[in-house]
Amino acid sequence: MTCPFCGYRAPRPELHAHLTDVHPDVVETLTGPGQRRYYQLACAWCDDSWRQEIKPRLRDPGFLEEYSREIRVVAFDQFLYHLEAAHQDHHPPVPTHHL
């Protein structure tokens, strides 16, 4: 599989670790009304994006620091299903340079 964010190629489990370790900023955490918290992740290759509420029991103060890695693990796992389903044979797009 190919990393949509940098073109790194690896089998699924390795790519999952790669995404979690190298691309933490791809998963944004947002705070909505009523202290609801969400994570949000967008595909680099298409317009799909995911926003999911973080479980209420995990909304303790300090949660985001302590569990941000866990959130990324879950978010990227979901994202890898999307890559498999939508971009199975996708090769990294040639970067477009704006002259």
Which residues sit at the interface with Zn ion, rule CB under 5 A?
3, 5-6, 8, 43, 45-46, 48, 86
Nearer to Zn ion, 71 or 76 (CB): 76
CA-to-CA separations, 86 to 7, 51, 57, 67, in angstroms, rounded? 16, 18, 32, 29
Q: Minimum Å distance from CB 31 to Zn ion?
A: 26
Shortest Cβ 65–Zn ion spacing (Å): 23
Nearer to Zn ion, 6 or 17 (CB): 6
Instruction: Specify the residue, 6 or 58, whose C-beta has the smaller distance to Zn ion.
Output: 6
Q: Is 15 exposed, middle or buried (0-12, 13-18, 19+ CB in 10 A)?
A: buried
24 within 8 A of 71, measured Cβ to Cβ: no
